Chain A
Amino acid sequence: MTIVYSAKKIITMNPSRPITTHVAVRDGKILGTGDLDELHKWGEFELDNSFENKIIMPGFVEGHAHTMEGTLWRYVYCGFFDRTDPDGNTWEGAKTIDTVVERLIKADKKIKDPNAPLSGWQLDPIYMNNKRVSRKDLDKVSETRPIGILHASGHIMNVNSKALELGGLMKTGINHPGIPLGKDGYPTGELYGPDAMTPIGIHVGFNRSMTDSDKDGLVAFGKLCVRTGVTTVTDLAARLTEEGVEAMLQITGEKNYPTRVVPLKVFLGATPKETIELVKSLKKKSTDRLRLGRIKAVADGSIQGFSARMRWPGYHNGAPNGLWYTAPDQLSELYELALVAGIQVHTHTNGDEATEMALDMLEGALKKHASPDHRFTLQHCQLADAAQFRRMKKLEMCVNLFANHHYYWGDEHYKLTVGPDRALRMNACKTALNTGVPMAIHSDAPVTPLGPLFTAWCAVNRLTASGRVQGEEERITIEDAMYAITLGAAYTLHMDGEVGSLETGKSADFAILEEDPYLCAPDELKNIKVWGTMQGGRIFDAKTL
């Protein structure tokens, strides 16, 4: 059966017919676009006018997110900024530590078992004049149950005394850079880095499978996608255990699961050869809504955590250079084997030395195994300079820049981590486009909220949280930003032939909007309301999820 949907305006991203009024859908695919007369030529159809006052765009593609955001929402939201949960409730940002504590006390009262852990997430003291949270603040919530709050960066955690006690760290004499001590010689309750977080994390609900999304988490994440117009989303560093894959297959296979999920197997704890073999076999398990068969490698750490690898002159505040998470030789071996096997690799690089290293390793691998259209993609790639973008172009790479990061931590980078010059070029969208590097932009949810229109707003305006425009030369147009969150991201996944634009034969994936992003003022882009989505011909109304 064919259904023709009318809309106030349909933005297709199809160069042959960029704007139209109707779209015909059959068998979950787009049969055609145009006016009613043209679509009549396909024969009988049912006309559906439910969207006649809406704007239809290709469903958004989020090229770098983590489905664990769905899991985190069962914990207490402690973030500074307002944020909407999977059920559509907007949580007001907690502006002070007292508010965070009050919120935790409320949650504490709801848990009957006095020893059960209480977990929170997305705390960020940077916005609270950098006032540190201590275990004593959290002891006000409870002295009997362990409490842990994960920071927005994911690299720091605050815990109470009970949690320290359960993890065996409520003692004096600890000598560890990740565990600051108070005047009394006991840990303050702030834990930096995975090594300090792990022994305590298991007692406060954050364990090793934290980055995996469980079934409920995946369902919740699907709802967030609908609310933000996303119809194809990556899970960019999945462990993909046998169990995990089975769960993902089951959930995404359910009749009403609204999103196409693209999990990338993280390259960790297995040799390049083993990883390639595993991903080759996973690829065969792919379904329409679960796309397996790609690899994510991690070259370095994070800039604000000072673990990113920097070229000269290094960190602005003089911090020592960061760490390699993957050895150059190992990355090189992975690239070579992946090119031969036809498996795509996305590589996390934050510092410019990490980007340089990945470029060198891929260049070497490509000289041995020339592979047209490999589309290997650098993820984050926040500090790349113009010359590095030129090399990406030469090596036929793609880039997915972290536009949201600029808003949330741009001020910190300007003042502290990299200094003014390099802060201006962070996430250089304009340079990428001018150089001709295929580009996407991303949220890295849950690090920042999922929401391609917000991500587009970040790239278009380059505002920081304090309201400064940082790097005005790197701002891009609304048109370029909208391309980046649809076809741009689809291209980095080799999926631009099936999603990212509304063209005959492609999946009927729509973002259904209340307003026209092309006609709004650039600073209004993030306020555009999403009605819901269509995915594979199925309609999802955000209000009735």
Chain B
Amino acid sequence: MNGANSIPVTIISGYLGAGKTTLVNNALRKANGLKLAILVNEFGNLAIDEDLIISQDENMISLAGGCICCSYGNDMLLSLKELTSLDSKPDHIILEASGVAIPSSIERSISLIDDCYTESIVSIVDSEQIQDQLSNKYVSDTVLAQIESADLIFANKIDLIMDKKSLLSWIKNHYLLNKAIMVSHSDVELDVLLGANRQPGVLRDTSQGIKVNHANIFWSKVFIPNDFVDPIEFSKSLTQQNMHLVRAKGHLRGIDGNMYLLQTVGHRYYVDIADNEKKLGLVLIGTTETENLDVLKINLKKYGDFIY
């Protein structure tokens, strides 16, 4: 498991033009006090407002609020290593993979570095192009590998799709539904992209989500677990497909009396010993695809209850 000081890394993968850079730009704009470190292959189209830039050299841009952007060129691992040994450690690292990188192999490489761990692999696809890309003679296997190794798939540019129903059923036929989320303009709530980084007490029920252009709307709920829950068993329940959960993150007290940090994204989950002082409770994030919240409540009943 990951040490308490280990920095979570979210890998953003996707072929050229899918919207990775826009996603990263949006994350920076929404950081809101969270110290993000962004690793990109090249600065290229990274649109950073000039008044936010505190300093800049060839490989690093420092931003107001403690966020930084680094370009890694030909040495992703070394750049990552440098990030984890900074005096002022980032809260979260977002790694924008190159358009032809296979994220699962990036994940394996990250496993070689102490002090950080892969929190999730997010693949973003261009909903208009994806069917063509998956039959393109050169890139189909690469794009497929990017999708298959993802914990979450953002079907981006959904606003450009006339027949959303048929795209949705196509995605359903090809990929597990709870992995695929429809978005437009790479606009994703930070909690959905990175997991809830705030304490449950602070978070409000954010059903307002994103309502533009028929994108999926997210909801988040606070769940208070009973005392003495088996964290692994609970994680497995949360990640079952019929739960339609996007993410879950928070603290619970295990059977052995220890406090645990639990995180899930798609089918992936982490359990880690946590500080005993942590406040009990998890933030669960789903989309309106979750047809009936009652089903969720019933399924999770033996572990606790929602407070909202």
Chain A residues packing against B (C-beta within 8 Å): 168-169, 174-179, 194-196, 198-199, 202, 207-208, 239, 241, 266, 268-271, 274, 309, 321, 323-330, 353, 357, 360
CB atoms of A323 and B102 under 8 A apart: yes
Q: Mark B70-111, 1 if CB is under 8 A from A, else 0.
A: 011111111001000000000000000011101001001101
CB atoms of B108 and A327 under 8 A apart: no
Tell which of A176, A309, A324, A353 touches B109, judged by Cβ atoms closer than 8 Å.
Answer: A176
CB atoms of B141 and A321 under 8 A apart: yes
CB atoms of A327 and B99 under 8 A apart: yes
Tell which of B16, B42, B112 touches A176, judged by Cβ atoms closer than 8 Å.
Answer: B112
CB atoms of A270 and B112 under 8 A apart: no
Q: Using Cβ atoms and an 8 Å threshold, which residues of chain B touch A175?
A: 108, 111
CB atoms of A329 and B141 under 8 A apart: no
Q: Using Cβ atoms and an 8 Å threshold, which residues of chain B touch A241?
A: 58
Q: On chain B, which size bracket covers the interface?
A: 20 to 34
How far apart are B57's CB and chain A's nearest CB, in angstroms?
Answer: 11
Tell which of B17, B44, B71, B78 touches A329, judged by Cβ atoms closer than 8 Å.
Answer: B17
B62 CB–A CB distance under 8 Å: no
For the complex, would chain A's binding face be called helix, strand, loop or mixed by DSSP majority? loop
Known contacts A196-B109, A196-B112, A323-B142; 20 additional CB pairs below 8 A are A169-B112, A175-B111, A177-B105, A177-B108, A194-B75, A195-B77, A195-B112, A199-B78, A269-B42, A270-B73, A271-B42, A274-B42, A324-B100, A324-B142, A327-B99, A327-B139, A328-B138, A329-B16, A330-B99, A353-B138
Q: Mark B128-158, 1 if CB is under 8 A from A, else 0.
A: 0000000000110110000000000000000
CB atoms of A168 and B114 under 8 A apart: yes
How far apart are the CA atoms of A301 and B247 in the complex, in Å? 36
How far apart are the CA atoms of A437 and B33 in the complex, in Å? 59
Closest to B44 in A: A271
Q: Using Cβ atoms and an 8 Å threshold, which residues of chain A touch B78?
A: 198-199, 202, 207-208
How far apart are the CA atoms of A104 and B72 in the complex, in Å? 34
CB atoms of B74 and A208 under 8 A apart: yes
Q: Using Cβ atoms and an 8 Å threshold, which residues of chain B touch A266?
A: 74
Q: Using Cβ atoms and an 8 Å threshold, which residues of chain A touch B58?
A: 241
How far apart are the CA atoms of A297 and B260 in the complex, in Å? 48
14 A-B residue pairings within 8 Å (CB atoms): A175-B108, A176-B112, A177-B108, A179-B112, A195-B105, A199-B81, A239-B74, A269-B71, A270-B43, A271-B45, A324-B100, A327-B15, A327-B99, A329-B16
CB atoms of B111 and A268 under 8 A apart: no
How far apart are A311's CB and chain B's nearest CB, in angstroms?
Answer: 9
B199 CB–A CB distance under 8 Å: no
Closest to A241 in B: B58
B31 CB–A CB distance under 8 Å: no
B41 CB–A CB distance under 8 Å: yes
